Amino acid sequence: MGPSPLGRRPRLLSLRTTFAVSFATVTAVVTVLVGVLSYNAAARLVRVDQESVFAQVVQDLRAEVRERPMSPGDFSSSAPGHDIVRPARTDVQVLGPDGRVSDPAGPRLPVTGADRRAAGAAEAGRTVQHEDVGVGRDVFRVATVSLGGGRGAVQVAQEFSGTEDLLRALQRRTLLLMGAVVTAAGLFGWWLARRITRRLVVLTSAAENVARTRRLGVPVPVTGPDEVGRLGRAFDLMLGRLAQSEEDQRRLVQDAGHELRTPLTSLRTNISLLRRIDELPPDAREELVADLGQEARELTDLVNELVELAAGQSAGEPPQRVDLAGIAHDVAAQARRRTGREIGVRVCGETVTDGRPAMLTRALTNLVENAAKFDPDGTGPIEIAVAGPARPGTIRLEVRDRGPGISDADLARVFDRFYRAAAARSRPGSGLGLSIVREVALAHGGAPFATRREGGGSVIGFTVGTVLGDDGGAGGDG
């Protein structure tokens, strides 16, 4: 048995077919409406014109027979032509006093009792009207006008079946023309839809290729200044950002795995020693427990920073007006309580901008704690400098210390994830603090920087612009 109709997926019309059918439908409706209205107006004008002409002929004939006495011979076809048969395109049949046909028309017209009574009537101009009189295959409109004095009558006939045949031919031609217009509109709509959707088809194929292969490096050959071109460029930019995000995630996983391997190995070693803790001297036991506590804290900090960095925890914080000078004073006060070090703050210029205060506070805290960690002896005060703007829309934040400084080889890499200089590997930390500063700077339209300080020490900081990125970093300790 075949698949159930209920489980069969309905076939969807393509955009090209929908566009062509819609174009043809609209054209058909407009064409039919215009055709019907035009035909009805033309037919009405022709019929009204014929009726008015016939009515005028009958009116002229009545006026003529009333004006002077006339006999049937005056309308005989053998007599000199009468003016009534030429301009009106009518047929004339003459009836004698007894109502018999004395001079038949081209097609012999039927004579009714009312026509015979009109022929014998004493009153001139008495009229009897007949509609839709069939003579053979033709249809006539007939009027019988009495000559008066019992002298007979004149029948005037106008054929309108020929006009109806003409109108029917016009109707058929109108229908053929409408069909041709609708067909042409459908073909033109198909061509136009194909031209419009050709680049959309290419873009759809690229999207389907990405969904099928999961390869983000697919070229998108869609260009142009219109909306489709903008969509192609946006899709290409989106793929680029997704590819970069995927690469960042891959590097983060690789780096995290590498960094987690060392503390986990140390923990396994110390845990194996716990099985023989009763055999160890008291000093070794205390040292073992202290090492386990320190490694557990560092591992916890590392995992928390990895989770926050990977998830972009602070990205949902809404931007608002912030005073970077106020943030610097708060960070300095908190660092004084934690480290007991002297923390100075210098502010110049306009320091109010749009930003995410929690992210900025975490980044500046990382810089201050990093400076305190690498200068534990406190050879000089730590300074926070906030200067703005160095250029329109840019505020510069930096932390200056008098520690050992950063070597030229390490300056270019201090903001990389998990990177730690050779002199800093013996100190606690995860190597994520400065990389978080970079993420915060980039999220705020700025950039990080690091230089050697004249007289010893280092200057590390970042700039803040007015344009916020869509991706924000999460903070962690250095």
pLDDT per position as a tens digit, 191-215? 877 777 777 777 777 777 777 777 7
Mean pLDDT, the chain, whole residue set: 76
User: What are the residue boundaries of the structural domains of the chain, listed by start?
Assistant: 20-166, 216-311, 313-464
216-311 and 313-464, same CATH topology: no
The three-class DSSP label of residue 135 is strand
* Domain 313-464 in this protein, CATH class: alpha beta
The three-class DSSP label of residue 99 is coil
* DSSP structure string for 342-396: -EEEEEEE--EEEE-HHHHHHHHHHHHHHHHHH-TT--S-EEEEEEEEEETTEEE
Mean predicted confidence (pLDDT) in 73-79: 70
Using CA atoms, how far apart are residues 400 and 75, in angstroms rounded to an integer? 128
Using CA atoms, how far apart are residues 197 and 187, in angstroms rounded to an integer? 15
| 302 vs 48, residue with greater confidence | 48
* 350: Cα separation from own chain's centroid: 42
Name the amino acid, one letter, at 213.
Answer: T
Peptide bond just before 107 cis, omega within 30 deg: no
Strand order of the β-sheet with 458-464 is 343-349, 382-391, 394-401, 458-464, 448-452
Fold of 216-311: Helix Hairpins (1.10.287)
Q: How long, in residues, is the chain? A: 478
pLDDT per position as a tens digit, 233-252? 887 788 877 887 777 777 76
- Integer angstrom CA distances of residue 448 from 11, 28, 251, 359, 365: 54, 65, 20, 14, 14
114 within 8 A of 129, measured Cβ to Cβ: no
Residue 39, φ and ψ in degrees, nearest 5:
-65, -45
pLDDT for position 309: 62
* DSSP structure string for 229-246: HHHHHHHHHHHHHHHHHH
174 within 8 A of 38, measured Cβ to Cβ: yes
pLDDT per position as a tens digit, 463-477? 998 544 444 443 333
User: Which helix (H) or strand (E) is 145 found in, with range?
Assistant: strand 138-146
pLDDT per position as a tens digit, 356-366? 888 888 888 88
| 374, burial (CB in 10 Å: exposed 0-12, middle 13-18, buried 19+) | buried
Q: Whole-model pTM?
A: 0.45
| 276 vs 449, residue with greater confidence | 449
Judging by DSSP bridges, how do beta strands 91-95 and 101-103 pair with one another? Answer: antiparallel
